[in-house]
Structures are given as structure tokens and as C-alpha cells.
Amino acid sequence: MYSTSGAGPKEVASASTPSADDALFRRISWRLLPLLFLAYFINYLDRTNIGYAQLQMQETLKFADTVFGLGATVLFLGYVLFEIPSNVLLTRIGAKRTLVRIMILWGLASAATAFVTTPTQFYVARFFLGMFEAGLVPGALYYLTLWYPLERRGRANAIFLMGAGFAPILSGPIAAGVMTWLHGRGGLDGWQWLFALESLPAFALAAVTLLRFDDNPGKARWLTPEEKSHVQALAQSGNEGRDAGHLGTALRQPRAWGFGLVCFLTVLGIYALAFWQPTLLKSMGLSLIQIGLVSSLPAIAGATASFWMASHSDKRRERRGHFTVAALVGAAGLTTAALLQQHLLIAMVGLVFAGAGLASALTLVWASVGEVLPREGLAASIALITTCSNCSGLVGPLLVAAIRQATGGFGWSLIILSGALLLACVAMQVILWPSKRISSPMSVPARHL
């Protein structure tokens, strides 16, 4: 039982036992987190499947590389422009209706991409996809603050954000299978089937969200009145006056801008490879099925390496040296793939090392943010860093497309991305200087893009 009569947040929290709280939040997690994980997983697939679809779209629609690069860019333009308006709307209509609206509209935009025939139609479809999906990540993270106290919120956020980390592992095999086995069926090309079929899970998730989600604990019919009050009290405790605004403080923090630069330079390579790696592999002579299978290897390496590096960094209580190793490994991998593209096996080893280094580096950046920046204005600082990170999506894919069209290959673009990682390495040394030891490890998931 939870005694709530006349009790404030602290009193309510103390009236329960740790084991009872663990059981309660276990129920909440099983109710909320699997669907949120799947939502981000499907969202990442729909955002990046253009990297595989373009392998056939170029043959049927005759789009130039710059068309696909600009298409990737306008998606992030819609994302950046409508992220804040989406969250404002969330506060007015509630989290459940906001998430349902996002899922239905992004599913429609993804499905509509299957029927584009001109570059303009392609740009419009991509822009609307970015606009509609813009509120998913901040909306879900805000939603979790309504349910979880501070000491449990990090783990809940991590499970949600892991959806985007697992998506690249399966996106290649799924895309290759659909585009190969359904090509020509029903008068549609394989890339059209890809957009159409990968939009369906968004509608299914919207239906499940409508049935199973509640705007806040107070509206959860599967909780007792005592549990509702207890969860709300715990979720609110510790939030009073915490980082309320302080945007001016964040803007005056040189290290916040420094972390933003490091994230931009690191994510530049992540998004560039996400959209162009399939085309790069095709240029090495791989078939569609081979591309789908092989493209999973860098993602698997990234997930494995980032987990190991974060754990080792926590254990050693050190960030700067670990980031240096990760960035150098990623840069070496990109350079190897650039210089030895004609040697398939060596180039693939390079891409695997690039995936491991990029993912690990980004994990270590976010692990350092909460340890280096002051608590005042930390939320605003994180928002600033995230915005800088997302801006890499406006640059990376289009940069690779322009360089490939000008040079006829991917070599120079990979070299430039390698240089960006080295520059990030230098910036990270400055940000963390002179202290490289940390006082309280705080691992934060890497895949918030």
C-alpha cells in the first residue's frame, strides 16, 4: 500500500519500500517501453531506407546523386523546423494523441514516397516525413518524465533510444529482401514496395498506442488510485526548479558549443554512411542481397564497440583518452575504405572499424556532457548540443552527393569525413583539458540523431 493522504513527494516516496517500487516500475516499463523502442526502431528505418531504395530508384527514375543528397537534407530541415512546434502541441493535446498523430502522419509520408516520379515530389515527400516525425524523440522523452523519477529515468530513456541503435543492424537485410523478392510484383518496383511495406508498422504502432497508452499516470486505469498518486509524486520529486530554462546560460557556455561541434563532426559521418553506404557497397561490385547482409556488419560493430567502450570508460573513470582511441579508429577505418575501395575485403574491414569508431565516439561525447557542464542550464545545453548534432543531417548526405558527382567516386568524401573525426578529436581534447578523470560516471546512449 502507498500512503498518499496529505503527503508531499518526499513523504510519499518514503512511505513505500524499494522492492514495491521496483515491482511497480517494472509493470510500467513493460507497458510503455517495448512500444516506444519499436516506434524509434521503425522511425529510423523509415528515415534511412532511402539509402537502399535509391539503388533501384536511380535506374527507374534517373535521379542524380545530388537529388538523393538534397532529399536527405530536406528531411532534416523539416525535422529541425517542426521539433519545437510539435512539443508545444503536445502540451495542449496530450502525449498519447501527439504520438498517435506523429505515427500516422509519418506512415502516410513514407508510403507516399513510393509514388514519387519527379525530384520535386521526392523533396516534398521527404520534407513532410521529417516534419511529421520531428516530435517523436522529444515527445517520447518528455512522456517518460511523467512516469519515471530521476533515478529511474536514465534507464528508461536508454531503452527507448536503443531502438535507433538496433535499426541499422536489420535495415539492410530487410530492404534487400523486399527489393529483391517483390520487385515487379503488382506492377511495382522493389523500392516502391519498400516504402509501402515499411510504412505499415507505423499505423500498427499508432493503433496500439491509442489502446495502451495514457497521457499520464493519473489516467492509467491499470493502476490503483494509490499507485497513480505514488508514481506522480515520485516523477515530480526532484524536478522542481531543476534547469528551468537557463537558455542564456547554455548559450554562454563555451564547452556546450564545443560539445555541439564535436557531435556535429561525429554525426556527420554517421548520417553520411547511413544514406550512402549502400551505394558505396554497390560501387564495390556487391549485389543487392550482398549489400543488405554486409551493411549490417558496421552497425553490429558499432553497437558492440560503443557498449564496451562506455563500460570500460566508466570503469576507468576516464573519457578523453577513450574518445581519442574511438575517433582515431573511426578515422583510420574511413581512410582505409577510401584508399582501398578496389579491395573489397580490406574496404569492408575499414567500414567495420569506421562504424565501431563513430558509434563509440558519440557514446563517449554524451557520457562526458553531464560530467563537464554545470548543472545550471544543463537541459538547455543538451538541447543546444542535440540541435548541432541534428544539423549534421543537413550537411553530410548532400556533401557526399556533391563530391561524388564532382569526382565520380566516394574516396574524397570519406577522406573529408575522416578529417572531420580528427578535428572532433582535437576539439574534445580542448573541452576536457586539463582534467581527464571523471568524478561520477554517467553513460548516456549515443543514438539520439
Let me know whether 90 and 164 are in one domain: yes
Q: Name the grid cell of 306.
A: 560503443
* pLDDT digits 0-9 by tens, 26-58: 999 999 999 999 999 999 889 888 989 998 998
DSSP state of 114: G
Residue scoring higher pLDDT (145 or 269): 269
Let me know whether 28 and 97 are in one domain: yes
Let me know whether 347 and 443 are in one domain: yes
Q: What's the CATH code of the domain at 250?
A: 1.20.1250.20
* pLDDT digits 0-9 by tens, 148-157: 887 787 678 7
Let me know whether 324 and 197 are in one domain: no
Domain count of the chain? 2
217, 240, 263 — which closes off a domain? 240
* pLDDT digits 0-9 by tens, 337-348: 999 888 889 999
Let me know whether 196 and 344 are in one domain: no
Let me know whether 90 and 180 are in one domain: yes
Let me know whether 358 and 268 are in one domain: yes
206, 240, 274 — which closes off a domain? 240
Let me know whether 225 and 265 are in one domain: no
> Region 271-275: what's the mean pLDDT?
84
pLDDT score at 437: 47
> Region 246-264: what's the mean pLDDT?
80
Let me know whether 316 and 258 are in one domain: yes
Let me know whether 86 and 222 are in one domain: yes
Let me know whether 153 and 273 are in one domain: no
* pLDDT level of residue 375 (50, 70, 90 thresholds): low
Domain range holding 189? 1-240
240, 260, 288 — which closes off a domain? 240
Let me know whether 25 and 163 are in one domain: yes
